Amino acid sequence: MVERTLSYLFVFFLPLVVVIQGSSHGDEGDYGNVSCPGTRPRRYDVTDFGNPKYFQGWADVTGQGAAHDYCRIVSPGPGMMFLSCALAGTAGESEYNYNSVGEGGEWFDEGFPNTWYMKDEDGDGRDDFCRCVGIGSNTRVACMKAGEKGFYGSAAQGGDQKTFTAPNSPTDCRDRTVHPLFGAPN
């Protein structure tokens, strides 16, 4: 009779917890994001999440390479709306620090329902706000370019809120709903 001996090797893995500390105001050295090293962290102190009927989501309007800016359509009063982003790395500061409000206080054209999305359509590394605009069947997907100081058409950045037409824009887009982060048809 032959005896066999089985040996068991038990290996226990202990979870590794990494704590990254940084300033609550998002100083240049406050990167605090393990999944996207070298980027400013998302803000979680936002209290105005925006109007749920319109665009709300994480985007990259600063061109840092990570969607850490929280953008949404806000309504400071009846019939008044604008796009505003709470920029990454600015916790404790105003949550309306990147906007689309024009010099004369003009509000922006949010476009036809569920046609809006944020995506870098012009290849500059910043996510632009795009939506279907126009009258009747004379429509196009117009994008509001994200600039260094705010969206084009804003008092801070200047220019026009319908900066450019999105590549491959359909000729009649008013009834074409799209995914809010990818711009792909639903």
pLDDT exceeding 70 applies to what percent of the chain? 77
- Which residues make beta-bridge pairs with 131? 142
Q: Which amino acid is at 139?
A: T
The CA distance from 72 to 56, in Å, is: 4
As a whole number, mean pLDDT of residues 162-184 equals 88
In sequence order, which residues have a C-beta less than 8 Å from that of residue 170 and are 6 or more positions away? 141, 176
- What is the token pair recorded at 75? 């309504």
Per the structure block, which two tokens stand in for 127? Answer: 């996510």
- Is the pLDDT at 29 greater than 60? The verdict is no
From the list 164, 165, 186, 169, the residue with the least C-alpha distance to 177 is 186
Helix (H, G, I), strand (E, B) or coil at 172: coil
Q: Would you state the pLDDT for residue 34?
A: 54
CA-based R_g, the chain, Å: 22
Per-residue pLDDT tens over the stretch 71-123: 999 988 777 888 999 999 999 999 988 888 765 566 778 899 999 999 999 99
15: burial class by Cβ within 10 Å (0-12, 13-18, 19+)?
A: exposed
Collapse the DSSP code of 147 into the 3-class scheme (helix H, G, I; strand E, B; otherwise coil) and give the result: coil
Residue 8 scores a pLDDT above 60: no
